[in-house]
Structures are given as structure tokens and as C-alpha cells.
Amino acid sequence: MDRRELIIGGGAMAAMLLAQMARAQDHAADGQMEHMDHMDHMDHMHHAHAARKYAALAAAAADCVKTGQICADHCLEMFAQGDNSTAACARSVSQLLPICATLQQLAEQNSRYVQKYARLAQEVCRDCEKECRKHEKEHEACHNCAESCAACAKECDAIAA
């Protein structure tokens, strides 16, 4: 197997992982909506209040996942064209995606683990931001991902403190 086949194979695996993550998020959102439909009014009000506690963090993590997926796809397109200049960026965003997806879920659930997990997510977001900043002038996807990572890291700082 030559380097090109390895890169294309790795890209295919990354794309498959991203698709699985998106399906899992859709499934979780569907299940959450069904659950909300069956709650009585008082439980609904309590849940809404609890969810607001980490609403900004959940939104920042969701945006990080969205922009991260676009950045990862952009990197894969570049690999397919034979340009591996964003390899480190792709590596960092591939680590970011599952971390921020989990952070979003924990924040939406008002989990007792949010503060601890936010410390890890903050570090991963900062690392991804640094890699994306290296390419942000040439690639809009990298710029958007870096900005989103910075915003998520800031929300993590506020929670993890």
C-alpha cells in the first residue's frame, strides 16, 4: 500500500466516523424529543431550568462539532487532491469531534461530570484552534473551526473554573 492509498483509506475512515457521529446525534435528539413529549408540565419546567444551566456550553460545543466536521471534510478534500499540508489540522479536528459531541450531550443532560469534562474539552479545543490558525488565512473552514474552538474553550473555562 502506498502513501496515497493510506491517506485515502484514512480519509474514508474519518468520513465514516463523522457520519456515524452525526447519526448518533440525530438519534439522541429524536429520543430526547420523545422524552420531552411524555413529561408533565412541572417536570418539563424543571428540565428546562436545569438545561439552561449549561445552555451556552452546549451551544458552543454543538457549533464546534458543526464547524469541525466542515473542517475535517475540507482536509479530506485536500488529501484527495494530493495536498497533505493540513494533516496535523485533520488529526486535531478528528480528536476534537468526539470530545465536543460528548461535551454537548453532557451539558444538555446537566450531568454532574460537565465541569470535569470541560477541563479536557478546553485543552482539546485550544490544541485544535492552534492547528487551525496555521491555515486560517488560506482556508475558510480552518478559520471558522478555529473561531468556534476558541469560543468553546472560553465557555469551558467559565464552567471548569
Residue 151 host element (H or E): helix 140-160
Q: Do 148 and 129 meet the contact criterion of CB atoms below 8 Å apart?
A: no
- What pLDDT shows up at residue 52? 80
What is the residue-wise DSSP string for 62-118?
A: HHHHHHHHHHHHHHHHHHHTT--TTHHHHHHHHHHHHHHHHHHHHHHTT-TTHHHHH
Q: What is the pLDDT of residue 41?
A: 43
pLDDT for residue 84: 93
Residue-by-residue pLDDT tens, the chain, 161 positions:
454 444 444 554 555 555 555 555 655 555 555 544 544 444 444 455 544 899 999 999 999 999 999 999 999 999 999 999 999 999 999 999 999 999 999 999 999 999 999 999 999 999 999 999 999 999 999 999 999 999 999 999 999 87
CATH of domain 3-160: 1.20.1270.360
User: What is the per-residue pLDDT for 38?
Assistant: 45
How far lies 104's CA from each of 38, 57, 109, 129, 133, in Å?
A: 23, 7, 9, 18, 23
* Overall residue count recorded for the chain in this entry: 161
